[in-house]
């Protein structure tokens, strides 16, 4: 959900371009079927359940500043006694708009076996209007830009023109749902990045949001492939893809700045959301990562969703604590969808 458009702190520790190839030189030689073959059921389930658990974990803490977030060892689906819980009418263990829209994308990819933006638009409209892919059809915590775009889609807007393109419309609503694309996609890195941008346009059309989605799916792909530094390799790859695209390079170099560390705040601004997730993933294994994401405060469900997907992909399903897997609601929605996805993969 999009909160304030805020960037905190100065960029520091710019990376030298002397070894810009880095790990990407190793992975560049691999065909993209190899990436798909590397993905295990454990990784896929870890990624999808990881993002849903992260989302559900963050829901009760949303909107709170970091100073009011409990100590990490107290961060659980049910907050400690005395904590003023957000979304108090929503049962614990429930994913929000983040998870529901990610499942809309996964279901569309499985059903259509392609990125079909018209089908995706239809599913997103069904979510907003009828609770499709929401636990018990309960829709809550809808971002403003996302709601406006889906209402336009419902009124017949072209999916490629539904998302606003002004700079102030760079919330994290398209980033939070895009991970299934990386798990499903068998095309080249350039094709994966292109499709990540396309799916963003349904709700977030500015190039910055679109490129953050592209960087995220490449980060996920490199994570699945076991790159030594998947984030850096993904950044190298995206820069290479857009070597002749002045607009993209300007956004990457001036706004997204993937080679620089930055102060993070867990806000709804797409660049901060992406860097916040990166920071959280780097803190440790799955449980540590998602608790670190929540500890940033603010847009806690989305930060933990974005980080949880990568950490779950990296660490696998078994790394997600059983108390959270067992406490996650909506398995009647999730389990058949995951089974269909695995069947599709097995069929080739």
Q: How many helices and strands, by DSSP H and E, does the chain display?
A: 16, 0
Does domain 24-347 fall into CATH 3.30.200.20? no
Please report the DSSP string for 80-123 in residue order: PTT---SSTTSPTT---HHHHHHHHHHHHHHHHSS--HHHHHHH
What dihedral do alpha carbons 33, 336, 109, 301 form, nearest 10°? Answer: -100
- Locate the domains of the chain by residue range: 24-347
Confidence of residue 20 (pLDDT cuts 50, 70, 90): very low
What's the rounded Cα separation, in Å, for the pair 177 and 212?
12
Q: Average of pLDDT values for 25-46?
A: 70
Span 104-163, pLDDT tens digits: 999 999 999 999 999 999 999 999 999 999 999 999 999 999 999 999 999 999 999 999
Which pLDDT score, from 0 to 100, does residue 33 have?
A: 59
Its sign, for the CA torsion 21, 25, 26, 30, is: positive
3-class secondary structure, 319? helix
pLDDT exceeds 70 at position 328: yes
Percentage of residues in the chain with pLDDT exceeding 90? 89
Output the average pLDDT for the chain.
91
Span 267-292, pLDDT tens digits: 999 999 999 999 999 999 999 999 99
Please report the DSSP string for 222-246 in residue order: HHHHT-SSHHHHHHHHHHHHTTT-H
Which pLDDT score, from 0 to 100, does residue 38 have?
A: 79
3-class secondary structure, 191? helix
Please report the DSSP string for 259-290 in residue order: TSB------SBHHHHHHHHHHHHTTSSHHHHH
Which pLDDT score, from 0 to 100, does residue 36 have?
A: 65
What's the rounded Cα separation, in Å, for the pair 203 and 163?
4
Span 239-270, pLDDT tens digits: 999 999 999 999 999 999 999 999 999 999 99
pLDDT exceeds 50 at position 325: yes
What's the rounded Cα separation, in Å, for the pair 121 and 118?
5
3-class secondary structure, 12? strand
pLDDT exceeds 60 at position 44: yes
Residue 171: beta bridge partners? 269
Containing 75, the helix (H) or strand (E) segment is none
Taking a C-beta distance cutoff of 8 angstroms, is the pair 261, 278 a contact? no
Taking a C-beta distance cutoff of 8 angstroms, is the pair 182, 221 a contact? yes
Taking a C-beta distance cutoff of 8 angstroms, is the pair 108, 116 a contact? yes
Q: CA angle 249-199-340, nearest 5°?
A: 135
What is the phi-psi region of residue 113: left when phi exceeds 0, alpha when psi lies from -120 to 50, beta otherwise?
A: left
Phi and psi at residue 176, in whole multiples of 5°?
Answer: -65, -20
What is the 8-class DSSP label of residue 71?
P
Q: Average of pLDDT values for 67-92?
A: 97
| pTM for this prediction | 0.91
Residue 269: beta bridge partners? 171
Half-sphere exposure of 110 (CA within 13 A, CB side): 21
Which pLDDT score, from 0 to 100, does residue 348 have?
A: 82
Q: Average of pLDDT values for 67-71?
A: 97
3-class secondary structure, 15? coil
Estimate to the nearest angstrom the gap between the alpha carbon of 193 and the chain centroid.
14
Structure token pair of residue 108: 């569309």
């Amino acid at each position: 959900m999009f909160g304030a458009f805020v960037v905190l702190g100065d960029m520091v520790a710019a990376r030298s371009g002397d070894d810009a190839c880095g790990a990407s030189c190793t992975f560049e030689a691999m065909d993209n079927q190899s990436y798909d073959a590397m993905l295990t059921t454990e990784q896929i389930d870890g990624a999808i359940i990881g993002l849903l658990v992260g989302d559900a974990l963050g829901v009760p803490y949303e909107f709170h500043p970091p100073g009011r977030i409990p100590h990490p060892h107290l961060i659980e689906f049910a907050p400690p006694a005395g904590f003023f819980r957000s979304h108090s009418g929503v049962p614990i263990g429930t994913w929000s708009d983040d998870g529901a829209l990610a499942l809309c994308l996964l279901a569309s990819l499985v059903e259509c076996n392609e990125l079909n933006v018209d089908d995706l638009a239809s599913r997103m409209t069904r979510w907003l209007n009828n609770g499709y892919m929401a636990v018990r059809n309960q829709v809550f915590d809808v971002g403003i830009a996302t709601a406006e775009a889906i209402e336009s889609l419902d009124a017949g807007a072209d999916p490629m023109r539904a998302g606003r393109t002004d700079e102030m419309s760079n919330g994290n609503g398209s980033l939070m749902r895009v991970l299934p694309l990386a798990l499903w996609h068998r095309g080249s890195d350039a094709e994966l990045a292109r499709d990540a941008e396309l799916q963003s346009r349904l709700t977030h059309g500015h190039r910055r949001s679109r490129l953050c989605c592209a960087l995220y799916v490449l980060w996920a792909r490199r994570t699945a492939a076991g790159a030594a530094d998947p984030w850096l390799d993904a950044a190298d790859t995206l820069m290479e893809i857009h070597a002749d695209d002045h607009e993209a390079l300007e956004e990457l170099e001036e706004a997204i700045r993937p080679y620089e560390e930055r102060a993070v705040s867990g806000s709804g601004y797409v660049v901060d959301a992406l860097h916040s997730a990166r920071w959280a993933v780097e803190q440790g294994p799955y449980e540590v990562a998602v608790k670190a994401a929540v500890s940033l405060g603010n847009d806690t469900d989305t930060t933990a969703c974005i980080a949880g997907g990568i950490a779950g992909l990296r660490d696998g399903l078994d790394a997600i604590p059983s108390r959270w897997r067992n406490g996650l609601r909506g398995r009647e929605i999730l389990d058949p969808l995951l089974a269909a996805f695995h069947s599709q993969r097995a069929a080739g």
